[in-house]
Amino acid sequence: MNSLSVLQDEHSLQQTLRGLYREEELSAQTIRYTRLIDEFSRSEHADGQAFLIRAPGRVNLIGEHTDYNDCPVLPMAVDRDIIGICTPRDDRKVVVTDTDASFGSCRFTIDEPVPAHRPGHWGNYIQAAVQGLKDQQLEIRGFSLMIDSTIPSAAGLSSSSALVVLSALAALHAGGLQMENLRLAQLAAAAERYTGTAGGGMDQAAILLGETSRVLKIDFAPLRCRTVPFPEDHRILIAHSSISAPKTGSAMEAYNLRSLECSLAAALIGSYEVLQGRARCTLLGELPSGYDPSIALKQTGYTKDELQRHLGELCEEVPLRARLLSALEKSAEPSEGFSLLKRSRHVLSERRRVEQAARALEAGDMHSLGELMHVSHESCRDDMQISCTELDTLVEIGRQSGCIGCRLTGAGFGGCTVHLVHKDLLQDYRNQLSKRFYRDCMGITDPDRFLFTVVPSAGARILI
């Protein structure tokens, strides 16, 4: 921890930020951090000793809705981030404010049970982090935190997971504690489920394990990460569909339904395999590569009654049966039924694509990577059914405008698309999207707020 005047020293601040941001953005970032420190130093929470923290957003190149099935992903942490200045408190309170006053503040006492905020409030993510640490019997101290974010929210770039990770780091450091990144990533993923999403572990792992100029190949069970360099002559352009996909409300319900459908598919396949005298599986990721789910699952959707019967009669051997029956009970039946075959077809084919994509990136074969991104989008659209008209239109226009690969990224149902473009074609490509999607299709006259490049960036940590 340092005195506020040490944090305010512009020269050492710039030294700290070098490497975290692109050279041309260093001055603007230094100004941003200085403003945050100044604003905090004027607030009632400022104390003699403070520290700076940063948690990046992430973009996923390929491997969507695979993580909660224990199948791999290929994301990277990006240079859009949440930064925070934090000071420990002597009471048991957590007080968090945002430089954007319209967000209001979040205050709670560490001993309060979670959740205490209304659904959708950003304070839930801070409480979730604190609760996750408390569950590990860690002695958490109160803290005051002021944050500033450049990650668009409800856009599929993990602003909420970045907040969970940032809050966990703040709570740990304020209490003089430390935790190894892999353990913290798993803790943060479990903690975020307090907010109601049945998410996997990709976001928290990418946010913590990110590395400058490198893409992350993340595997689960056990969580592990290998990094692959991103080629210098290519660019990653993010294009927001302008459709908000909040991790609450209907997008959360649709996300959780996908997660439930995958678990149900694994349970039915598991029962089938046991009846055939073969090994049982409880997650799609446990199936051997090349497994054809249509052997065990029917083409059309399943009704709730049908699934309850299957789970009751066939799954004597499948653990988690009680959990699945209760989740099914609470879930509304989709009009087309529960689409188990489509979901498992997506997950199993996407798992194969992620492996191929990682190999292509390692070999510098960007065209194969791009082609896999296109096929992934089609599978997200047709089998996982997580796309929407705007995302599909953006991807279609992208493909016609000369990108190497593009697809929706993140949970889907709105949010962003990710485009892999050669650096020499970037400006022209950007102009095409501005005109053909934003102006012509959406009537948006200032597309620049929806279009930005990102670079692979370092993972979350205490800066000074």
Residues 366-425 that bind ligand GLA (CB under 6 A): 410-411
Tokens in use for 204? 């928290």
In the complex, what is the shortest distance from the CB of residue 239 to ligand GLA, in angstroms, rounded to a whole number? Answer: 18
3-state secondary structure of 217: strand
Active-site residue, selected from the candidate residues 67, 203, 219, 383: 203
Closest CA to 458 of 206, 142, 258, 273: 206
Pick the binder of ligand GLA from 51, 68, 125, 220 (CB under 6 A). Answer: 68
The residue (of 142 and 210) whose beta carbon lies closer to ligand GLA is 210
* In 139-232, alpha helices (H): 159-174, 181-192, 202-209
Q: Say if residue 212 is exposed, middle or buried (CB neighbours under 10 Å; 0-12, 13-18, 19+).
A: middle
**Cα–Cα distance measured from residue 42 to residue 45, given in angstroms and rounded to the nearest whole number:** 8
In the complex, what is the shortest distance from the CB of residue 443 to ligand GLA, in angstroms, rounded to a whole number? Answer: 29
Who's near 167: CB < 8 A, 6+ residues apart?
96, 125, 126, 129, 130, 145
Please choose, out of 60-68, 126-134, 303-311, 450-458, the segment that lies near ligand GLA by the rule CB under 6 A. Answer: 60-68
The residue (of 58 and 419) whose beta carbon lies closer to ligand GLA is 58
What residues form DSSP beta bridges with 73? 218
Residue 64 binds ligand GLA, judged by CB under 6 A: yes
Task: Tell me the helices (H) and strands (E) count for the chain, helix number first.
Answer: 14, 13
Pick the binder of ligand GLA from 17, 51, 57, 65 (CB under 6 A). Answer: 65
Residues 198-217 that bind ligand GLA (CB under 6 A): 199-200, 202-203
Q: How many binding residues for ligand GLA (CB under 6 A)? A: 12
Residue 79 binds ligand GLA, judged by CB under 6 A: no
Q: Write the CA distances from 45 to 4, 39, 55, 85, 144, integer angstroms.
A: 12, 10, 22, 11, 6
**Cα–Cα distance measured from residue 195 to residue 128, given in angstroms and rounded to the nearest whole number:** 7
Residues 417-436 that bind ligand GLA (CB under 6 A): none
Provide the residue type at 141 as one letter: R
203 is catalytic: yes
The residue (of 68 and 437) whose beta carbon lies closer to ligand GLA is 68
Residues 152-171 that bind ligand GLA (CB under 6 A): 158
In the complex, what is the shortest distance from the CB of residue 118 to ligand GLA, in angstroms, rounded to a whole number? Answer: 21
**Cα–Cα distance measured from residue 113 to residue 419, given in angstroms and rounded to the nearest whole number:** 42
Pick the binder of ligand GLA from 21, 45, 67, 184 (CB under 6 A). Answer: 67
In the complex, what is the shortest distance from the CB of residue 55 to ligand GLA, in angstroms, rounded to a whole number? Answer: 14
Interface positions with ligand GLA (CB under 6 A): 60, 64-65, 67-68, 158, 199-200, 202-203, 410-411
Indicate which residues carry an active-site annotation.
203
